[in-house]
Each structure stands twice: as C-alpha cells, then as structure tokens.
Amino acid sequence: MICIVDYGMGNLRSVHKALEWVGCDARVTSDATEIQRASKLILPGVGAFADCMRNLSVRGLLEPIISVVQGGRPFLGICLGLQLLFDESEEFGLHQGMGILPGRVTRFPDNLTDPETGERCPVPHMGWNTVHFSRSTPLFEGIQTGSYFYFVHSYYAVPDNPHDTIGTTSYGMDFTSAVQRNNIMAVQFHPEKSHTVGLHLLRNFVRISG
C-alpha cells in the first residue's frame, strides 16, 4: 500500500486524486503503524517548515517516516515534503529538519531578475516553470528534460552533495528543484497540479519497485 502522510497540513486531496487517476490504490493516513508498514510513502506539504516539523513530531510520525526511508522503501516528497528532508531551514528563524539529506533550505533573494528580460522575479515563485534533468532516473522516465511543472514556494533546498540533485530550475538563478538519493526522491514542484506531465511522474513513482 502506498501511504500519503497526513500531518494536518498539505494538499492531500489533490495528491490522492492524482494517484487515483493513474490507477494507484493509495491511502491518506496519520496512523504511525500504517506508515511504518507502507510499501511506498508520499510526504506532501504546504505551509511553514517549523509548523510541519512540529506537527510530524506531535503526531509521532517522524520515526516511522525515517524508518521507512532507512528501510529502502520508495519515498516521494512534494514541495515542503522535499525541504523537510534536509538538515535545517531558515524560514522564520533557524529550524531543524529530518536530516535525511545533508543541506539547508534558504529563501530566494528579493532582488532576483530574469537574465533574459531584466524583469524582476517576484517571491514567492509561483506558476509554471521548466525542470532540466541533471541525470537519468526512473522518476523522470519518459519525460523530456525542460518540461514544465507547477511551482509555489519562497524557499529552496541547497544540498551539500551536488549528486543528490536530479533536476534544476531557473528563476533569476538556478536552484535545485528535484533530488534523489537511492530510494529517496523529492520534487519542489507540484506534480499533482502539473497536468499530464505531473501524472506521468506520479505513475513512474508508483511503478518503482521497493
């Protein structure tokens, strides 16, 4: 069973409906035992980093999530679900993350400009943008590099290990928009809101063997 982690925040219904669309029987759950037993795990997220970490901790979900990841089962983080994987975030102060991937989460500078047009890039970064693949991975199988995905965020991850980056996006600067280390996969964009190409990515994740 694929479990979608419910910790009181996140676009759970959209993710669940997208998985149903690609023929996947997924379950939204806040039950630690179900999460512990999941064959695959999806961690979506919207909102503030510290609030999400607090909710995961209060509901007793941090240890089950980390156990699934360390057990080698496929994991997909979406948006804030990507950022929570890292050591720390500077959103509204410095806050500790799950520490599954080394690195930090930082805010876009306010003075970003598009190098081609010279126009200001507003923060948050919101709307459609391209993702260029850094290396081959089953998560992107059948998807062309440079495809458009939907973004909504003001912060981005800076991995310590460049090899963890599998996708980058340009928004006044190049930033990491997708990461993978073995069974751990995560994307800064929202595949559930990215139409056909996003559904293709979710279908790829469903097909990845544990």
Residues 69 and 9 sit within 8 Å (Cβ to Cβ): no
For residue 125, indicate whether it is catalytic: no
Q: Considering the candidates 16, 79, 91, 125, report the single residue annotated as catalytic.
A: 79
Q: Which residue has the tokens 């512990």?
A: 36
Residue type present at position 180: Q
- Per residue, the 3-state secondary structure of 132-172, as one string, reads EECCCCHHHCCCCCCEEEEEEECEEEEECCHHHEEEEEECC
Q: Considering the candidates 52, 91, 121, 192, report the single residue annotated as catalytic.
A: 192
Question: What tokens appear for 58 in the block?
Answer: 């209060």
For residue 79, indicate whether it is catalytic: yes
Among positive and negative, which fits the CA dihedral 199, 73, 132, 159? positive
Question: What tokens appear for 12 in the block?
Answer: 């759970």
For residue 195, indicate whether it is catalytic: no
Query: DSSP labels for 27-83?
Result: EEE--HHHHHH-SEEEE---S-HHHHHHHHHHTT-HHHHHHHHHTT--EEEETHHHH
Residue type present at position 108: F
Name the DSSP class of 3: E
Q: List active site positions.
A: 79, 190, 192
